[in-house]
Amino acid sequence: MEIVAICGSPRKRGNTATLVEALLEGARERGAKTTRFDPAAMSISDCDADDACLESAQAGCIQHDDMQPIYEALRRADAWVLATPIYFNHVTATLKRVIDRLYALFTLEGGWRVGIDRKARGAVIVVQADPGRETPEQVADYLAAILGEFVSGPVLRLAESGLGDPGDTAKRPDLLSRARDMGRDLAGG
């Protein structure tokens, strides 16, 4: 069992990252291999819409940047995790760049999921500073829809608000426990 998490936060130890690490810890407790990508610290270009990836199932994205290891890991993974803080009512730009580049997993001849077997599970983690509940839920819906293109089972969700300062999640053992439980569930336990 391999779980790949893409953490869209620019803060390596912020609230989103803390919850991602708790989820991955729970998965490792069940024997899963875990990989975490932090696109904010990677060199990933925007999708250039050249459609070269649509030409054949073997084409893939012609841009050779730090997205290539993400593609490789996602192809191997048994479960995918997308995580983001809310930035101006949506995902961060770095996570959106990764999502847009997932377009390379589509071809006109074969449809979605080129080189991707539909994974058993997926999970999303969304946090925001503002105490309102509506936006994290909406963004979680968006991310779950993206994962729905690639996973066959239900998408687990953790969407929370009121987590503005780095370290706020560490003061919420209930959230850390929920994230660990999600990881255990993704890993099959």
> Which of 119, 146, 144, 130 has the alpha carbon at shortest distance from 87?
130
Predicted pLDDT of residue 54: 74
CA separation (Å) from 81 to 17, 78, 87?
12, 10, 19
pTM score over 0.85 = yes
Domain hosting residue 31, numbered range: 2-186
Judge whether 124 and 144 are in contact, CB under 8 Å.
yes
Q: Check which CATH number belongs to the domain holding 64 and give it.
A: 3.40.50.360
Residue 111: CB partners within 8 Å, gap ≥ 6?
none
pLDDT tens, residue order, the chain (189 aa):
999 999 999 998 999 999 999 999 999 999 999 999 999 999 999 999 888 777 765 667 889 999 999 999 998 899 999 999 999 999 999 999 999 998 888 655 555 555 566 666 899 999 999 998 899 999 999 999 999 888 888 899 999 999 999 899 999 999 999 999 999 999 986
Domain count, the chain: 1
CA atoms within 13 A on the CB side of 169: 28
Predicted pLDDT of residue 56: 62
